[in-house]
Amino acid sequence: MKNLVSTDWLEKNLHKVKILDATWHMPHTKRNALVEFSKNHIENSIFFDLDKSSNQNSSLPHMLPSKEYWAETLSNLGIKNSDHVIIYDNSDVLSSCRVWYNFLYFEHNPNLVSVLDGGFRKWLKENKNTSHTLKSFSKSNYQAFENTEMVLSKDQINLNIKNKKFELIDARSEERFKGIQPEPRPEIKSGNILGSKNLPFTVLINEDNTFKKKFELKSLFTNLELDPNKDMAFTCGSGVTASILGLANSIISGKNPVIYDGSWSEYGLK
């Protein structure tokens, strides 16, 4: 599993891979990812709209779509099953990790989907080439499958409160987890899922937006005093930053991430 690639690696392989800008911003930021992309992006990249590629029939944000809808979305972007896909973002919530998770869920070869370590911020800081030209591409015939073991429902979360089969780790800030800070979505109450543990995604990330070293990540998970005999699953506000924990755990363990898709947006509804 090739979870991460460096900015230097991508610069050398710019025309050998498919590059997706998967920037997504929290609604309260009032930032428009597509407008930002049209003004400046990594050369040869394609904009990937997380919301439009998600389940359009759900009232919850960016839930997993059907495999047919996912296949159609990727086909329309000219992405093939054989492509090595590099995903980056310019987001405060490292939204590329959620799109990485989606690719794995729909069974893209795990060795052929990677997140750009450090994202667009690091790319810009290193004065690497950018563009405002929009790339054209031919439609492909992408085939999608599903690994349903990588996603959890609210019922499975509630069952786990009783039988404690897996450890549930929440990526939100400590203030939101403890209910001290209100949720950014007004229809959501404060608090956390009974029995879950808190590991804010921000502690996994260095100042330059890269992931911390494997031994550092391992130490952060160890500090949670998890049961080593239980698997891990991840939750957050709406399934985006949970994927950051999922990627970090994959770096440590090589395992696929397991995400509660509805996360607190579903569980915390008033």
Annotated catalytic sites, by residue?
236
Q: Are 108 and 1 in contact (CB under 8 A)?
A: no
Phi, psi of 145 (to 5 degrees): -130, 175
Distance CA 245, CA 186 (A): 25
Nearest to 259 by CA among 22, 32, 63: 63
How far, in whole angstroms, is CA 165 from its chain's centroid? 24
From the CA atom positions of the chain, what is the Rg in Å? 18
Q: Are 90 and 36 in contact (CB under 8 A)?
A: yes
Nearest to 193 by CA among 222, 170, 172, 212: 170
Three-state DSSP at 68 gives helix
How far, in whole angstroms, is CA 209 from its chain's centroid? 14
